[in-house]
Amino acid sequence: MYDSRHSDQSSPSRPSRVESPGVVAARLTGRSVAGVRPLSAALAEVALDGGQSVIVKRASGPGAVAAEAAGLAWLADAGSVRVPAVHGYDADWLVLDRVPTGRASAAGAMRFGRALAALHASGAEAFGAPPPGGPVDAWIGSAPMRNVTGGDWPAWYAEQRVAPYLRRAVDAGTLQPGEARVVERVCERLPRLAGPADPAARLHGDLWSGNVLWDSDGEAWLIDPAAHGGHRETDLAMLHLFGCPQLDRILDGYAEVAPLAAGHRERIGLHQLFPLLVHAVLFGRGYAEQALAAAESALRE
């Protein structure tokens, strides 16, 4: 796989004019373009001469491309999960392989579960550690996310993953200060609620079902990482949050390789607080109410 960490394109100057996805693909791959199909305002599928298709993606914010490229390289380095190869990037654009999409298969889901367990076990230097070469100021979706390290997961999770988005939700009026107190109580009790200590895992970091693609053979591929060192149950809680095809099979495969500690089902809501608060900041009150429900559920356990 192309290793974006060693690319001479990792910190070029910003192009002086706005380019089309086709022009970007030609510039960053060095190949001729046969066609372009826009997918969204920030995404296009580009056909290259010779029949290969790539995805051209515009940055969501400063440093977002470098963070995503470093995250994909870090996940690939584990040698377990499938990720699309990166063909090039600059400050504004990322070009990577298009995954031919299909449907999830039961056997593929089991293999993905085992691969995800191996990814987590490949580890990270610390909780909050960015991928090698990745920026501290990264992103989760279109929300800023700082990769600041810590040695104790409960304290790190409270300070670096829950509190920043809780403050932003309160400042925006999405959560009332009195409601926020429920989440603050969870943070205060995290040492007791967190369960047995786990080493820092190599996380995808934004593992909702939309970031798991199933190819034409029914095998899983991971895209759009917000990769960092974290608790492995957080990735799994994200899979639960919005549902994922063949989730039971994924979890069965995971448990074959790396069984979770007792009480992990009761901790799902605790680990979902982070993504729910991110969604509350980005998308409003409905997710804030889900975050409050998750916090109340965690306090009852």
Residue numbers annotated as active site: 206
Q: Per the structure block, which two tokens stand in for 164?
A: 């920043």
Q: Measuring CA to CA, how many Å separate 190 from each of 13, 110, 206, 239, 299?
A: 44, 31, 21, 22, 10
- Compute φ and ψ for 277, nearest 5 degrees: -70, -35
DSSP SS3 for 62: coil
Of how many residues is the chain composed?
301
Radius of gyration (Cα) for the chain, nearest Å?
A: 19
Token couple for 134:
């990745």
Nearest to 173 by CA among 2, 288, 298, 26: 288
